[in-house]
Chain A
Amino acid sequence: MPRNLLAPGHTACAGCGQALAARLVVNAAGPDIIVTNATGCLEVFTSLSPMSSWEVPWIHSLFENSAAIASGVEVALKALGKSGKVRVLAFGGDGGTADIGLQALSGMIERGHDVLYVCYDNEAYMNTGVQRSGLTPMFARTTTSPSGKVWWGNFRPKKDMPAIAAANGALYVATASVAYPRDLMKKIKKALTFEGPKYIQIHVPCPLGWAHEPSLTPRIAKLAVETGLYPIFEMENGKITRVRKVKNPKPVTEYLKLQKRFRHLFKPGGEKEIEILQEIANENLRRYEISDSFAQVKEEKEEKMKKFTLEELEKFDGRDGRPAYIAYKGKVYDVTESPLWEQGEHEGIHFAGTDLTEGMDDAPHLEDVLEGFPIVGELEGEDE
């Protein structure tokens, strides 16, 4: 048996994450497999007629039907009495899985075929020239989601494919990364102990599409995990069973700055976008219980909302140089600068330092007059 079930001489870019992942996957799965492959980078760089890199039986049909071809191969093996002895793996890129291939994948899982579906997630349609897909992360630059005067790159978050696979009924679902090759290989082997539909999504950096140094592929993959942007976890029968924890999550900027596809975020004005990405990362850390600590992107700490009791509020009556605060529907507004609140008095009827929620009903104006006044806190004891 050859040492590698994916032979060299293929035309993947130097440093290609997907080439690395595919080799690890087939090596872990062993020679008694049949692989179906959607159209994409992996298919193209391994099968230029009359050569093929694959040392295992392999078939490429179309872009959107890897899971359906795999379904057909799986039932054929059943008909031949070879189920369990020969296993079926279906490969697809993020586009061929989450977008155009979603229907076939859903049908395959729903029908319960014994197939391991592997999604090589390089976060865009790389083979056709780096166009945006359903798994392109927020603010990533692609050729169809470029950054410009109005756009900051892609404007939608990643589709949660593992959740979709689990909801369809995949017995075993996992995410993996080329940052952790042994973990990836273990997951492939583990998946194959299940009889039924399985889904593994592998994060594979793309030096060309993400525009990074080829040698940094493993490091960038690792940072995606360490920031919380790419959670690594396993699910069985729809429930999360294992999560790769991160002790001290790194701020997303460490990941973003190594890739030119995020370079536009480091221009003036991009700070808000980076914060949004940090929030996405933190949300992942919370949701998957990856870490108890969260990285900050801003230098100063976020101010927690100050709580005011009615007694404390009374102090801010706008007199003698004191600030004028009023409470409305649970929020405390600073109206000191308003000419309508001289010395904390409003039209002789209302006074600062009080809760004016009920007074609004009789007012000759609506609550939108409060727009523009800074909110300095919340009123304690308010449910809303």
Chain B
Amino acid sequence: MKKVVEGSKGVAEAVKLCRPQVIAAYPITPQTHITENLAQFVADGELKAEYVHAESEHSAASIVLGASAAGVRAYTATSSQGLILMAEVLFNIAGMRLPIVLTCVNRALSAPINIWNDQQDSFAVRDAGFIQLYAETNQEAADTHIQAFKIAEHENVQIPVMIAMDGYILSHSYEPLEIPSQEEVDGFLPPRKAPFKLDPQTPLSFGVMGPPTHYMETRYHLHQDLKNAKEVVKEVDKEFGKAFGRSYGIVENYFVDDAEVVFVSLGSVVGTIKEVVDTLREEGKKVGCLKIRLYRPFPLDEVRKMLEGKKKVLVVEKDISLGATGGLYSDLVTSLYGSLKAPSVYGFIVGLGGRDITTQTILKIIEESEKPPEPDKFIDLNEEVVKLSPLAERGS
């Protein structure tokens, strides 16, 4: 059924349809509308879940960890500082192979404090062992949540899933969304069957100490299973397509095949890039866009195959590993290293702290790509403010 809803509500409706049994969250802008909508569903008896008002994000993640270990389907959502505060627990959840689903409504990181969108938060925890999927549109965000529970709980996965969706741009915008029915989702996503859980009938000890003789193998197992989860993500997406008529793949090929210059990006900015690609194509320019949807595990093979032989690759991302490059840039370069047909790769940093990204921004990137490549080119900087660096008084 198509409804005009706020992006956050679309996600809340999707999560409701997945019948989570425990929801625990702590408020942080711009995640709040998701958890507020879920609270209303529970308050009205529409969703039979235990709703826990965690006293911090660290505890919110711990509560869903405990609930998941006890065998139920558990969900949480957060942003920015909240995600970083629960970082310790994220590693713990993945390490213990618990299939929770977490929404990261992307927001910039302090300091300075900033509530607007960029992707520094989800990028900062990409090492935690979560599967990471980035949504371009509100429809995709809602649909990906339904897929997420199925992926996480798959018997060959048992790894938590994080869905990243841009704060405000997606979470707070209203669009007509197709919300499936409960029967449709029940048909696609059965109740969780935990293969191991805390139960006096079958006592087990979770979270034992892994000494030097054991720890490495455990990490190896997780790493391999995470890499292999790529196939499950593809499979579940195909099944979703059959059941609901929409599918997204793990990457999207938007006019890449005969392109000479390819944008690579993730999240909502891809929408803006696609518009510019359309315009440039009309002008006869051979450009394309490779959208990354599955970021962890990183689809090294798919990316390499699609970009080999291209002239230029323009990475556009809303994050920066301070002191180095953007995260997507470094993963991308890794996938192309050693190829005899590797393109020049440009790294562009855009939109930090909610800096607006328009088609002009993307066209500027095309201009910049005429110059020699740089790995960490910040676009749309205000030169007057740039001059006011804290070290400006010391002179050059």
Q: List, in ascending order, chain A residues with CB within 8 A of B46's CB.
A: none
Stretch at the interface among B5-13, B51-59, B228-236: B51-59
Q: A34 contacts the other chain (Cβ, under 8 Å)?
A: yes
Partner of B52 from the list A61, A65, A75, A103 (CB cut-off 8 Å) is A75
Give Cα A86 to B198, complex, Å: 11
Q: List, in ascending order, chain B residues with CB within 8 A of A78's CB.
A: 50
Contact assessment for A72 and B52 in the assembled complex, using a CB-CB cutoff below 8 Å? yes
Q: List, in ascending order, chain B residues with CB within 8 A of A31's CB.
A: 200, 203
A50 with B214, Cβ < 8 A, contacts A69-B63, A72-B22 known: yes
Q: List, in ascending order, chain A residues with CB within 8 A of B199's CB.
A: 34, 57, 86
Contact assessment for A60 and B66 in the assembled complex, using a CB-CB cutoff below 8 Å? no
Q: B112 contacts the other chain (Cβ, under 8 Å)?
A: no
Q: Which of A43, A49, A57, A68 has the most CB of B within 10 A?
A: A68
Q: B207 contacts the other chain (Cβ, under 8 Å)?
A: yes
Stretch at the interface among B70-78, B120-128, B287-295: B70-78
Q: Which of B49, B56, B63, B69 has the most CB of A within 10 A?
A: B63
State the Cβ distance, A166 to closest chain B Cβ, in Å: 18
Give Cα A98 to B72, complex, Å: 30
A77 with B70, Cβ < 8 A, contacts A34-B198, A72-B24 known: yes
Q: List, in ascending order, chain A residues with CB within 8 A of B203's CB.
A: 31, 54-58
Contact assessment for A57 and B198 in the assembled complex, using a CB-CB cutoff below 8 Å? yes
Q: List, in ascending order, chain B residues with CB within 8 A of A75's CB.
A: 22, 24, 50, 52, 63, 67
Q: List, in ascending order, chain B residues with CB within 8 A of A36's CB.
A: 66
Q: List, in ascending order, chain B residues with CB within 8 A of A57's CB.
A: 198-200, 202-205
Contact assessment for A65 and B89 in the assembled complex, using a CB-CB cutoff below 8 Å? yes
A62 with B55, Cβ < 8 A, contacts A55-B203, A75-B22 known: no
Give Cα A135 to B7, complex, Å: 48
Give Cα A80 to B59, complex, Å: 21
State the Cβ distance, A251 to closest chain B Cβ, in Å: 42
User: Closest chain A residue to B218 by CB distance?
Assistant: A49
Q: A79 contacts the other chain (Cβ, under 8 Å)?
A: yes
In the complex, chain A residues 60-104 whose Cβ is within 8 Å of any chain B Cβ = 60-62, 64-65, 68-80, 86, 103-104
User: Closest chain B residue to A72 by CB distance?
Assistant: B66
A-B contact count (CB 8 A): 155
Q: A280 contacts the other chain (Cβ, under 8 Å)?
A: no
User: Closest chain A residue to B96 by CB distance?
Assistant: A61
User: Closest chain A residue to B197 by CB distance?
Assistant: A57
User: Closest chain A residue to B214 by CB distance?
Assistant: A49
Q: A360 contacts the other chain (Cβ, under 8 Å)?
A: no
Partner of A79 from the list B22, B96, B205 (CB cut-off 8 Å) is B22
Stretch at the interface among A106-114, A155-163, A257-265, A324-332: A106-114
Give Cα A47 to B208, complex, Å: 5
Give Cα A323 to B255, complex, Å: 109
Give Cα A54 to B207, complex, Å: 12
Q: List, in ascending order, chain B residues with CB within 8 A of A80's CB.
A: 21, 70-72
Q: B322 contacts the other chain (Cβ, under 8 Å)?
A: no
Q: B210 contacts the other chain (Cβ, under 8 Å)?
A: yes
Contact assessment for B22 and A59 in the assembled complex, using a CB-CB cutoff below 8 Å? no
Contact assessment for A49 and B70 in the assembled complex, using a CB-CB cutoff below 8 Å? no
SS class, residues of chain A in contact with chain B: mixed
State the Cβ distance, B220 to closest chain A Cβ, in Å: 15
State the Cβ distance, A167 to closest chain B Cβ, in Å: 15
Chain A 352-364 interface 0/1 with B at a Cβ cutoff of 8 Å (1 = within)? 0000000000000
Q: List, in ascending order, chain A residues with CB within 8 A of B62's CB.
A: 61-62, 65, 68-69, 71-72, 104
Give Cα A34 to B72, complex, Å: 15
Contact assessment for B208 and A61 in the assembled complex, using a CB-CB cutoff below 8 Å? no
Give Cα A106 to B59, complex, Å: 11
Contact assessment for A76 and B67 in the assembled complex, using a CB-CB cutoff below 8 Å? yes
Q: Which of A31, A49, A52, A75 has the most CB of B within 10 A?
A: A75
Q: A44 contacts the other chain (Cβ, under 8 Å)?
A: yes
Contact assessment for A49 and B66 in the assembled complex, using a CB-CB cutoff below 8 Å? no
Q: List, in ascending order, chain A residues with CB within 8 A of B198's CB.
A: 34, 57-59, 73
Contact assessment for B200 and A56 in the assembled complex, using a CB-CB cutoff below 8 Å? yes
Give Cα A86 to B210, complex, Å: 29
The tally of residues in B whose CB lies under 8 Å from a CB in A reads 42
Contact assessment for A71 and B53 in the assembled complex, using a CB-CB cutoff below 8 Å? no
Q: A48 contacts the other chain (Cβ, under 8 Å)?
A: yes
Partner of B200 from the list A33, A43, A46, A51 (CB cut-off 8 Å) is A33
Q: A32 contacts the other chain (Cβ, under 8 Å)?
A: yes
Q: B209 contacts the other chain (Cβ, under 8 Å)?
A: yes
Q: List, in ascending order, chain A residues with CB within 8 A of B202's CB.
A: 57
A47 with B209, Cβ < 8 A, contacts A34-B70, A65-B58, A71-B59 known: yes
Contact assessment for A111 and B56 in the assembled complex, using a CB-CB cutoff below 8 Å? no
Contact assessment for A106 and B55 in the assembled complex, using a CB-CB cutoff below 8 Å? yes
Q: List, in ascending order, chain B residues with CB within 8 A of A69's CB.
A: 62-63, 65-66, 69
Contact assessment for B55 and A104 in the assembled complex, using a CB-CB cutoff below 8 Å? yes
A50 with B71, Cβ < 8 A, contacts A34-B198, A72-B62 known: no
Contact assessment for A72 and B49 in the assembled complex, using a CB-CB cutoff below 8 Å? no
Contact assessment for B50 and A52 in the assembled complex, using a CB-CB cutoff below 8 Å? no
Chain B 12-48 interface 0/1 with A at a Cβ cutoff of 8 Å (1 = within)? 0000000001101000000000000000000000000
User: Closest chain A residue to B210 by CB distance?
Assistant: A49
Chain B 182-225 interface 0/1 with A at a Cβ cutoff of 8 Å (1 = within)? 00000000000000001110111111111100100000000000
Contact assessment for B207 and A61 in the assembled complex, using a CB-CB cutoff below 8 Å? yes
Q: List, in ascending order, chain A residues with CB within 8 A of B92's CB.
A: 61-62
Contact assessment for B200 and A68 in the assembled complex, using a CB-CB cutoff below 8 Å? no
Contact assessment for B200 and A107 in the assembled complex, using a CB-CB cutoff below 8 Å? no
State the Cβ distance, B175 to closest chain A Cβ, in Å: 33
A61 with B65, Cβ < 8 A, contacts A48-B208, A76-B50, A77-B70 known: yes
Give Cα A50 to B207, complex, Å: 11
Contact assessment for A72 and B74 in the assembled complex, using a CB-CB cutoff below 8 Å? yes
Give Cα A43 to B58, complex, Å: 20
Contact assessment for B206 and A49 in the assembled complex, using a CB-CB cutoff below 8 Å? no
Q: B252 contacts the other chain (Cβ, under 8 Å)?
A: no
State the Cβ distance, A49 to closest chain B Cβ, in Å: 4
Q: B302 contacts the other chain (Cβ, under 8 Å)?
A: no
Give Cα A50 to B56, complex, Å: 33
User: Closest chain A residue to B22 by CB distance?
Assistant: A75
Q: B374 contacts the other chain (Cβ, under 8 Å)?
A: no
Partner of B205 from the list A54, A64, A73 (CB cut-off 8 Å) is A54
- 23 interchain pairs (CB within 8 A)? A34-B70, A34-B199, A34-B200, A48-B209, A57-B202, A59-B205, A60-B205, A60-B207, A61-B92, A65-B89, A68-B58, A68-B62, A71-B52, A71-B63, A72-B62, A72-B74, A73-B67, A75-B22, A76-B67, A79-B50, A80-B21, A86-B199, A111-B52
Binding site for B on A (CB under 8 A): 31-34, 36, 43-44, 46-52, 54-62, 64-65, 68-80, 86, 103-104, 106-107, 110-111
